[in-house]
Amino acid sequence: MPATTDPEAARRILNRLRRARGQLNAVIDAVENGGSCRDVVTQLAAVSSALDRAGYAVIATAMKECLVEPGAVRSEDGLTPDELEKLFLTLA
């Protein structure tokens, strides 16, 4: 199942991931060009934060779209509450 079937949610998630990619490129450039430790660490923190926000957006979307109904037969694409919790904790 895709991370989301909501085009607006997908757009927001992709924007966050693209921002993280840009920030990671800035980190790589800084390291390659002898950037200061402060600049590298600041950019790494920005990358980490952007990825975390993207992950939380995916989890929030999953809470709306991917959970199977309580008592329903689990579909191949559905997540149980326990599986969703495990996914969430991987971001912590």
pTM: 0.68
CATH number of 7-90: 1.20.58.1000
Residue 56 has a pLDDT of 85
Say whether 13 sits in a helix, a strand or coil. helix
pLDDT along the chain (92 residues), means of 10: 74 91 93 93 91 85 66 58 78 72
Q: Give buried/exposed letters for 64-80 (b at 16+ CB in 10 A, else e).
A: ebbeeeeeeeeeeebbe
- The whole-number pLDDT of residue 89 equals 80
